[in-house]
Structures are given as structure tokens and as C-alpha cells.
Amino acid sequence: MIRIVSFGYGHAPAPAAEATYDLRELFYNPFADPELKHLTGLDAAVYEHVMATRGAEPLAQLAAYLTVGLHDIARGRDVTVAYGCIGGRHRSVGLARRTWEIVQLTGRKTVVEHRDVDLPLLPPSAHRI
């Protein structure tokens, strides 16, 4: 099985994973946008915003390719990849969701978990914008 996890570094350490992608410095934080702040990467507006960010789609495609490769190398053993941002609600959820969509196309059993998506927003001081 391939497991894709989104999480927020501001809530707890990164989960154990064969590959972890730290999105805190790579992409604009939707937390700064009042219209997106209280939504998550599960909402269309945030997902579209994250995926419209330059570099997001290529990263998701590369991560999916590498994940499938890791799974092949592991000879079918479970493989976990993780995406982290500050709060685990916007960027990490969007990229995990897109990677899951791509990996699904390979026919491999894949699950996506959004560890912190339902936790309260972190205070503005926790966010690097």
C-alpha cells in the first residue's frame, strides 16, 4: 500500500515516512488570504489556488513518480510519503491530494490521510508568510 500523509509542523513532528516534502518555504501560504484562511485543501478554492502555484503540479507529479518507484523497490511493502506545511490545512493537503490522484492512476492501493486538517488554525505568529 502507498500512504500519502499531509500534516502541519506547527502541530506535531513529521510522521515517519520514506520521503517528506517540506512546503513551508516553497509555496505561498493561503492562510494569508482572508477568503481562503478558514478553508482547507479539501475545498475547491484552496485546492485550485495551491495547484495553480508555479511548481506545485510538477512537484506532485515528481513525488508520485518517486513514490511509485519506492513502492516497487520495497517489493510491495507499505510506503509512506508526507507533505508538511505550517498548519497542515492548505498546501500540504492540496499537494497530498494531487499526489494521491496521480498515484491512483497506476492502480496501486493508495490511501491519503490528512492528519491535521481538522485541527484549529494556528495563530498568525506561527505562520511564515
**Tens-digit pLDDT profile for residues 40-76:** 999 999 999 999 999 999 999 999 999 999 888 888 7
Ranges of the chain whose pLDDT falls below 70? 128-129
Which of 100, 3, 1 has the alpha carbon at shortest distance from 47? Answer: 100
Distance CA 92, CA 82 (A): 8
Cβ burial 85-112 (10 Å sphere, 16+ → b, else e):
bbbbbbbbbbbbbbbbebbeeeeeebeb
What pLDDT is attached to residue 72?
A: 86
Distance CA 99, CA 17 (A): 15
Rounded to two decimals, the pTM is 0.93
